[in-house]
């Protein structure tokens, strides 16, 4: 429970054992042992933690009741709280209050969802970094750069009679260049951020019997793999999220790979093309016991200009197709011999993926990484507004016009941290939270 009445409500339903009865005298950050009661009936034996505002998650008075698990007891305790004046929290309401009460900014609040929903350690770590406030500080720093010049502009506009140092267009341009450079760097970090958050969208392509399902199984059964299955963007497709050696892969159309097994008909080239288009990475798998066929040529055609790795499968058998094959070499892709069945070459495959996406180069401790599309879009918008402002300067517009444009940039940045964001957007963001957070 959080809020000014929460201790009062707790008082009505909690009978502490052998301790101070007056809640106001109980210290913050302590736990008390006792019972939750309703009309003298004991509902459960509990431990209650006290957090006195402003040093709490929401900055309000807060308490947490730790009961025995199980649905009945939890429901009953909730019911008693509600009967005695508590209100059910909306999704994300605790974090929303922390934001509205100014303990964290919007960017930090959003990182709480990322931490809860993280599918990989990397993703959780980026979330924690953002919650710590490093990215917020960077945005604040950029805003401050703009404000420093803005103040001079406003003084010049409002008090032309004062002998303030004239802000020159050069000064403004210089500031805009610096700010733009910082924002471009952040915008670019979203490429990494997207991969950390969503995984490398990976398609396994190959003709029937090349070994697609065997490879899929080999990847999914990997000891260190954490697999999450969820519905794909289009109906009937399943996407599987795996993290192996810290590399997050989102395997697309895994259902298609499995279905193809039962179907006499192979998956058509159109469908394959569609999947290839969506993918960040293609694993093109060929049966090395046979020569290339027309279907293989079509796949080689699809991987042109894409990030792809060629896998020569069934290396445990007599080889017909080798790395020296001129058609394969023409593709300029890395070629790896594997046996999906016997787990040969799979480790080399992961190493290659890591290299291809420069995963080893991302320093999670130092680099500021944008993972949230809302933040990315606002940064892109701020960059566009910087360009517009520069154009107005070129056109020798008066200072007050330039000032209006600069305010737009500040507003874009303020929306990231939540100062200038509308209530609708705030509600939308917190609606994505789960209950009780
Ligand atoms: P898909 O149609 O592309 O999904 O191919 P499958 O994964 O179903 O493999 C087709 C056949 O090749 C199956 O009988 C597999 O057991 C076999 N196979 C797949 N990979 C290997 C391999 O690396 N070595 C051997 N010896 N057989 C393999």
- Ligand 1 in contact with 289 (CB < 6 A)? no
Ligand 1 pocket mutation pick from 205, 211, 339 by most atoms within 8 angstroms of CB = 211
Supply the pLDDT for residue 226. Answer: 57
Q: Are strands 334-337 and 308-313 parallel, antiparallel or unpaired?
A: parallel
Which superfamily does CATH assign the domain made up of 6-88 to? Probable tRNA modification gtpase trme; domain 1 (3.30.1360.120)
- Ligand 1 in contact with 209 (CB < 6 A)? yes
Greater pLDDT, 129 or 237: 129
pTM value? 0.76
- Ligand 1 in contact with 217 (CB < 6 A)? no
* Segment 79-103, tens digit of pLDDT: 999 999 999 999 899 999 999 999 9
- Ligand 1 in contact with 207 (CB < 6 A)? no
Domain borders along the chain are 6-88, 112-195+368-430, 200-279+281-356
Report yes or no: 78 and 36 within 8 Å, Cβ to Cβ.
Answer: no
**Which CATH number is correct for 200-279+281-356, 3.90.25.10, 3.40.50.300, 3.20.20.10, 3.20.20.70?**
3.40.50.300
* Tokens standing for residue 112: 């709480």
Task: Please give the distance, rounded to the nearest whole angstrom, from the Cα atom of residue 340 to the centre of ligand 1.
Answer: 7
Q: Which residues contact 112 (CB under 8 A, 6 or more apart)?
A: 95, 127, 131, 433, 437
pLDDT of 72 over the 80 cut:
yes
The C-alpha atoms of residue 171 and residue 149 are separated, in whole angstroms, by 8
DSSP state of 318: -
Task: Please give the distance, rounded to the nearest whole angstrom, from the Cα atom of residue 341 to the centre of ligand 1.
Answer: 7
- Ligand 1 in contact with 2 (CB < 6 A)? no
The C-alpha atoms of residue 106 and residue 429 are separated, in whole angstroms, by 9
* Segment 203-231, tens digit of pLDDT: 999 888 899 888 988 888 765 555 565 55
Task: Please give the distance, rounded to the nearest whole angstrom, from the Cα atom of residue 339 to the centre of ligand 1.
Answer: 9
Ligand 1 pocket mutation pick from 207, 210, 212, 214 by most atoms within 8 angstroms of CB = 214
Architecture of domain 112-195+368-430: Up-down Bundle (1.20)
């Amino acid at each position: 429970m959080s809020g000014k009445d929460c201790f009062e409500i707790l008082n009505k339903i909690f009978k502490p054992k052998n301790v101070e009865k007056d809640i106001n005298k109980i210290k913050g950050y302590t736990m008390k042992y006792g019972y939750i009661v309703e009309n003298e009936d004991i509902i459960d034996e509990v431990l209650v933690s006290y957090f006195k505002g402003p040093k709490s998650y929401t900055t309000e008075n807060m308490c947490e009741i730790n009961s025995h698990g199980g649905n009945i007891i939890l429901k009953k305790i909730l019911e008693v709280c509600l009967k005695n004046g508590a209100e059910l929290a909306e999704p994300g309401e605790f974090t929303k209050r922390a934001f509205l009460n100014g303990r964290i900014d919007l960017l930090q609040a959003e990182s709480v969802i990322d931490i809860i929903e993280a599918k990989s350690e990397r993703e959780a770590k980026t979330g924690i970094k953002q919650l710590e406030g490093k990215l917020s500080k960077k945005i604040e720093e950029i805003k401050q750069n703009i404000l420093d010049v803005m103040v001079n502009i406003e003084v010049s506009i409002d008090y032309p009679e004062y002998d303030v140092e004239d802000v020159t267009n050069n000064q403004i341009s210089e500031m805009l260049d610096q700010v733009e450079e910082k924002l471009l760097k952040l915008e670019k970090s979203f490429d990494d951020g997207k991969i950390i958050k969503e995984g490398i969208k990976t398609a396994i392509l190959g003709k029937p019997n090349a070994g697609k399902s065997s490879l899929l199984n080999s990847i999914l059964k990997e000891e260190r793999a954490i697999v999450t299955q969820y519905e794909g963007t289009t109906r009937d497709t399943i996407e599987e999220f795996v993290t192996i050696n810290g590399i997050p892969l989102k395997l697309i159309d895994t259902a298609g790979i499995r279905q193809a097994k039962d179907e006499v008909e192979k998956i058509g080239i159109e469908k394959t093309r569609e999947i290839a288009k969506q993918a960040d990475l293609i694993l093109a798998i060929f049966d090395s016991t046979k020569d290339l066929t027309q279907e293989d040529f079509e796949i080689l055609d699809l991987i042109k200009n894409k990030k792809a790795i060629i896998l020569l499968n069934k290396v445990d058998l007599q080889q017909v197709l080798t790395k020296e094959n001129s058609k394969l070499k023409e593709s300029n892709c890395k070629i790896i011999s594997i046996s999906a069945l016997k787990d040969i070459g799979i480790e080399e495959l992961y190493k290659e993926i890591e290299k291809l996406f420069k995963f080893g180069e991302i320093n999670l401790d130092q680099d500021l990484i944008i993972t949230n599309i809302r933040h990315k879009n606002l940064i892109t918008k701020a960059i566009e507004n910087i360009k517009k402002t520069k154009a107005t300067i070129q056109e020798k517009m008066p200072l007050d016009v330039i000032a209006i444009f600069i305010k737009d940039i500040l507003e874009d940045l303020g929306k990231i941290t939540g100062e200038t964001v509308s209530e609708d957007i705030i509600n939308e963001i917190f609606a994505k939270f789960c209950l009780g957070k």
